[in-house]
Chains A and B, each alone.
Chain A
Amino acid sequence: MAEVLVYVDHVDGAVRKPTLELLTLARRVGEPVAVALGNGAGDTAAALAEHGAVKVLTHEAAEYADYLVVPKVDALQAAVAAVSPAAVLVPSSAEGKEIAARLALRLGSGVITDAVDLEAGDEGPVATQSVFAAAFTTKSRVSKGTPVITVKPNSAAVEAAPAAGAVEALSVTFSAAATGTKVTSRTPRESTGRPELTEAAIVVSGGRGVNGAENFAIIEALADSLGAAVGASRAAVDAGWYPHTNQVGQTGKSVSPQLYIASGISGAIQHRAGMQTSKTIVAINKDAEAPIFDLVDYGVVGDLFDVVPQLTEEVKTRKG
């Protein structure tokens, strides 16, 4: 069976969930060979093997942290040369998309970004994309070269599928371009203890209706009662009430959780672009005409300052 390269997104050896999802999709197309780079690359092997990686190619070098994007492209290119895969799959982060695009160009291949599903087809993998703010679903494939496809978080279930996961050192020679953009400092984001926004099963978001940074405590309390991540609309972020890293939408994160709860959010097209594929959508808004209500499975027309705390209390009571 053909091999499929899966680029591993990890933090110091801890594999992030979207990569484990990719291994599930990769198995539909071939045998997953994972590529883990940078500090802690070798430590990823156990998790990757448990989820189906037949092989884990690793390479550690300071360049991956000290320079932007290109060293990782060099390494993936070396992996493609070593393996001749049927496809290369990369998680759809901002960086993942840039890596994928540059790799495709070097390989003389096409690139598809933000796939939400992947199947084997007669002429190679077929990717499903959700486009125009999720108003259309397209199916596409790469028609030249080795398909390079980036896949959005939550596009597949994480499945255990134990495989050998044999670790092999990848040999990488960095290109002249690798050291072009220096990372002069890096400030890691402080963990809030809440689930990662793009990976969370439940997301609770607040918008302009929350009306102040201090009031976001109401949204956080609901999120915590449900074990959810906190999101925000751009209006709330622009007002300085919540960090930009929590913004949901076209220029923020796109999320696709089991449950999305929007409070005080009108549902502008750019916000919808980032949450419309959520499985169940709930909204609380005092304006019955707000466009968000066109999307909901359940909506409450009311003041969020009444509804949200009552909901939080009820969730706590029911969970005991």
Chain B
Amino acid sequence: MSLRIVVTVKYVPDATGDRHFADDLTVDRDDVDGLLSELDEYAVEQALQISENSDDDVEVTVLTVGPEDAKDALRKALSMGADKAIHVEDDDLHGTDAIGTSLVLAKAVEKAGYDLVVSGMASTDGTMGVVPALLAERLGVPQVTLLSEVSVADGVVKGRRDGDTATEQLEASLPAVVSVTDQSGEARYPSFKGIMAAKKKPVQSWDLSDLDIDEDEVGLDNAYTVVESAAERPARTAGTIVKDEGEGGRQLAEFLAGQKFI
């Protein structure tokens, strides 16, 4: 038996950097460093663990849709231990929204061949948390999403989902789409050996024509959503800051009372 896992990873602007919008109201990627979305490291980690815990022959492919620099995200995932990478890159992809992104990912996953797709719970830029569900809808396979624990055996994926009001145990037959949360277990650091090995691992590049996607199905002009304006949040007016010299709690209570909270 063999198991083909595709991990979807997004290349995002560093959240600790000065993120902002470009004139066309898409994310300005020039002024801030990009990296592998930290939440996708958890997806790579779980894919590697499924692989390590399996008796089957497992192949882990990492897939990104993004600009030239997005190769960095793939390299990071390869150095963690993924076997190979696919980069979907095309100028016409600029400004694609979630619906469009899910189309590209679905076509790429189908072309690559898969038994299991593993995604992060959300990207750290768009933070929508919808792409895994959209992928499952497009692929017509079960979604087993937002898992804090995941395991695969005998063609069945099981996991635990911690929801708002309850914790659920879930189960579905492969093929399936899984997403994992940051509660699923710390992601490993790439070892020196891993980094060296990654340089030799194959990275395939596909464009829209490789995926039989029309240019009018993706991109800013064909998005299903339009951003009309983006404004920087006004800086907060400086608050009152006091040093506790024995009365800090009471001073704070006075403030809260003045604001009618007490």
Contact = CB atoms under 8 A, between A and B. Distances in A.
A294 interface: yes
Interface string A254-280: 000011000000000110010000001
The secondary structure that dominates the B interface is: mixed
Given A280-B259, A299-B240, A183 B170 contact: yes
| Candidate in B146, B171, B239 with the most chain A CB atoms within 10 angstroms | B239
A140 B129 contact: no
B7 to A, nearest CB: 18
Size bin of chain B's contact surface: 35 or more
Nearest to B167: A187
Nearest to B226: A143
Interface string B136-157: 1110111111101000000000
A101 interface: yes
A303 interface: yes
Contact of A307 (B146, B227, B232, B249): B249
B232 A135 contact: yes
A113 interface: yes
Contact of A138 (B15, B229, B244): B229
Contact of B130 (A98, A188, A245, A302): A98
Given A105-B99, A140-B228, A111 B130 contact: yes
A163 interface: no
B172 A314 contact: no
B224 A144 contact: yes
A139 to B, nearest CB: 5
Contact of A259 (B137, B148, B256): B256
Interface in B88-103: 97-99, 102
A177 B142 contact: yes
Contacts, number: 259
A313 B262 CA distance: 12
Contacts of A110: 97, 99, 223-225
Contacts of B30: none
Interface in A281-306: 281-282, 284, 288, 293-303, 306
Interface in B106-124: 121-122, 124
A21 interface: no
Contacts of A281: 239
Contact of A282 (B167, B250, B252): B252
A309 interface: yes
Nearest to B173: A180
A8 interface: no
A134 B21 CA distance: 13
B129 A306 contact: no
Contacts of B158: 184
A251 interface: yes
Nearest to A188: B166
Contacts of B1: none
A161 B170 CA distance: 40
Nearest to B21: A136
Given A68-B144, A111-B225, A300 B233 contact: no
A94 B164 contact: yes
B253 interface: yes
B130 A293 contact: no
Given A110-B99, A111-B98, A135 B228 contact: no
A315 interface: yes
B126 to A, nearest CB: 8
Given A259-B261, A301-B243, A314-B253, 10 more contacts: A69-B133, A94-B129, A94-B164, A110-B224, A142-B224, A180-B143, A187-B168, A296-B241, A300-B249, A301-B242
Interface of A: 11, 68-70, 73, 93-95, 97-98, 100-102, 104-106, 109-114, 126, 130-145, 177, 180-189, 202, 226, 244-245, 250-251, 258-259, 269-270, 273, 280-282, 284, 288, 293-303, 306-315, 318-319
16 contacts: A73-B137, A98-B143, A105-B99, A110-B225, A137-B231, A140-B225, A140-B226, A141-B225, A181-B171, A181-B172, A182-B170, A258-B261, A282-B255, A298-B239, A302-B243, A314-B249
Interface of B: 15-16, 19-21, 25, 39, 97-99, 102, 121-122, 124-125, 127-130, 133-134, 136-138, 140-146, 148, 158, 161-173, 176, 181-183, 223-233, 236, 239-244, 246, 248-253, 255-257, 259, 261-262
